[in-house]
């Protein structure tokens, strides 16, 4: 039983998960090139193992954090490390839960590298929280946990939509230049990609709105003010307005095609900047998730 509470065990599980995801990225690309059912089987197996490892790492971190502060409050997400783990798991769930199988593997060619990059971000940048789950008492709140979960669901939908947007732009380029190639055959039609992108953003947007509301409620309870125009708060409202404008433009001007795809690509890039970049590039205090 003690092994569960040992940070080294959780650490090993985290690195095994990272390795499995990285392997899944390679195998997924190999599937496109070789079109072999054997490679597909390996990819599916590795992906399932990676996801299981991901869920196990989340549970381990929660159990360990719970054991560390059992007299205070149980099972709450408290730091950016846990957020990234949940975010990554949500990307897999949204990718394979919302999309049909053939489209899911197609979009995974881009969403899996995002997962790899996020986990490497944990290793290279966050580092310490991998072992240290202590956090200021102010972060130990169900409202904040709700905020983190809804943000993870919303961001993961935007991440998969980002992959679809990239796929659309590649498909468009290939059809304009009349090149088919391996990718041209692999990618579905532009109409399908456009609709998939919209469906993902439409799925994620209410969760994004809910996350803003939950974050504001937490800030009000913890800090006594629900909105203070901090950079992360302000960026989130900017994205909210931008996505709201996207839905209106799509309705008003039937905005489809490459403009819509660019919106998906830029939207998620900006969200990633808000998540990672603000803490490093802009002055002032910022919450890291």
Partner 1 sequence: MGDQLYNKNMLRFWRFFASMRFGLILMFLLAGAATLGILLPQEITTQNTLLGQISSFLGLNNVFATWWFHTLAYLLVLNASVCTLHRVSAVISVLRSPRMTVNAYDRLQAYQTFTTKERQQEVIDSFIQVLKSNRYRVLQSEDEEQPQLYADKQRLEVLGPVVLHSGIFILALGLTGLSLSGFAGTLTIPVGSSAPLSAMQQTTGTVNRNFAIRVDSAEQLITRTGLLNTAPNVSILANDAVVKTGQVEFNAPFTYQGVNIHLVQFIHGELVAVNGKPQIIRPNQPNYFPLTPTNDLYVAFTNMHPDPNRPTVDYMIVQPSSPQPLAQGSLRAGEGENYQNQFSFSLIGYQGSAVLHATSQPGLNFVLTGALVLLGGMFLTLYLRYRKIWLSFIADGDQLQVMAGGYSAKERLRFAIEFKALIDEARSLVGG
Q: Which of 245, 259, 262, 266 binds partner 1 (CB under 8 A)?
A: 245
Q: Which of residues 2-61 bind partner 1 (CB under 8 A)?
A: none
Query: For 179, how many CA atoms within 13 A lie in the half-sphere containing its CB?
Result: 9
Lookup: tokens for 103: 């489209």
Q: Which of 241, 259, 262, 266 binds partner 1 (CB under 8 A)?
A: 241
Kindly tell me which of 43 and 76 has the beta carbon lying closer to partner 1.
76
Kindly tell me which of 125 and 237 has the beta carbon lying closer to partner 1.
237
Lookup: tokens for 26: 């390679």
The span of 51-59, 66-74, 80-88, 173-181 binding partner 1 (CB under 8 A) equals 66-74
- Give the number of residues in contact with partner 1, rule: CB under 8 A: 52
Q: Which of residues 211-240 bind partner 1 (CB under 8 A)?
A: 213, 216-218, 220-226, 229, 231, 234-235, 237-238
What is the distance, to the nearest Å, from the Cα of residue 216 to the centroid of all Cα atoms in its chain? 21
Lookup: tokens for 192: 């399908």
131 contacts partner 1 (rule: CB under 8 A)? no
Q: In angstroms, rounded to a whole number, what is the distance separating the alpha carbons of residues 155 and 212? A: 12
Q: How many CB atoms lie within 10 A of CB 35?
A: 12
Angle formed at CA 112 by CA 152 and CA 260, multiple of 5 degrees: 70
282 contacts partner 1 (rule: CB under 8 A)? yes
Altogether, the residues listed in the chain come to a count of 289
Q: Which of 247, 269, 287, 288 binds partner 1 (CB under 8 A)?
A: 247
Q: Which of 4, 48, 117, 244 binds partner 1 (CB under 8 A)?
A: 244
Kindly tell me which of 125 and 238 has the beta carbon lying closer to partner 1.
238
Q: In angstroms, rounded to a whole number, what is the distance separating the alpha carbons of residues 78 and 75? A: 9
List the x/- string, 74-113, binding to partner 1 by CB under 8 A: ----------------------------------------
Q: DSSP H helical segments within the chain, as ranges?
A: 7-34, 37-68, 80-98, 101-121, 142-176, 181-186, 190-223, 231-253, 257-272, 278-281
Q: Which of 95, 141, 151, 260 binds partner 1 (CB under 8 A)?
A: 141
3-state secondary structure of 63: helix
Q: In angstroms, rounded to a whole number, what is the distance separating the alpha carbons of residues 246 and 255? A: 8
Single out the residue of 46, 246, 85, 265 nearest to residue 160, CA to CA. Answer: 265
Q: Which of 199, 257, 269, 276 binds partner 1 (CB under 8 A)?
A: 199
Q: Helices 190-223 and 231-253, interaxial angle, to 10°?
A: 150
Q: Footprint of partner 1 on this chain (CB under 8 A)?
A: 68-69, 71-72, 132-138, 140-141, 143, 191-192, 195, 198-199, 202-203, 205-206, 209-210, 213, 216-218, 220-226, 229, 231, 234-235, 237-238, 241-242, 244-245, 247-249, 251-252, 282
């Amino acid at each position: 039983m003690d092994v569960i509470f040992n940070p080294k065990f959780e650490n090993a599980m985290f690195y095994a998960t990272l390795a499995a995801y990285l392997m899944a990225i390679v195998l997924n690309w190999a599937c496109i090139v070789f079109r072999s059912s054997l490679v597909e089987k390996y990819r599916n197996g590795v992906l399932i193992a990676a996801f299981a490892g991901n869920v196990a790492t989340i549970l381990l971190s929660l159990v360990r954090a719970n054991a560390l502060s059992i007299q205070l409050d149980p099972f709450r997400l408290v730091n950016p490390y846990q957020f990234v783990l949940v975010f990554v798991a949500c990307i897999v769930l949204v990718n394979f839960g919302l999309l049909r199988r053939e489209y899911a593997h197609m979009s995974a060619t881009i969403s899996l590298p995002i997962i790899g990059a996020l986990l490497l971000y944990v290793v290279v940048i966050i580092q310490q929280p991998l072992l240290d789950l202590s956090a200021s008492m102010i972060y130990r709140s169900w409202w904040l946990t709700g905020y983190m979960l809804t943000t993870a669901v919303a961001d993961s939908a935007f991440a998969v939509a980002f992959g679809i947007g990239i796929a659309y732009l590649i498909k468009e380029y290939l059809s304009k230049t009349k090149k088919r190639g391996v990718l041209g055959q692999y990618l579905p039609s532009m109409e399908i990609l456009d609709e998939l992108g919209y469906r993902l953003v439409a799925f994620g947007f209410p969760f994004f709105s809910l996350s803003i509301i939950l974050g504001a409620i937490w800030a009000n309870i913890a800090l006594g003010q629900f909105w203070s125009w901090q950079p992360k708060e302000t960026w989130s409202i900017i994205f909210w307005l931008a996505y709201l404008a996207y839905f209106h433009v799509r309705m008003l001007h039937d905005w489809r095609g490459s403009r819509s795809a660019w919106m998906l690509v830029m939207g998620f890039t900006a969200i990633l900047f808000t998540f990672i970049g603000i803490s490093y590039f802009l002055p002032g205090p910022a919450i890291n998730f």
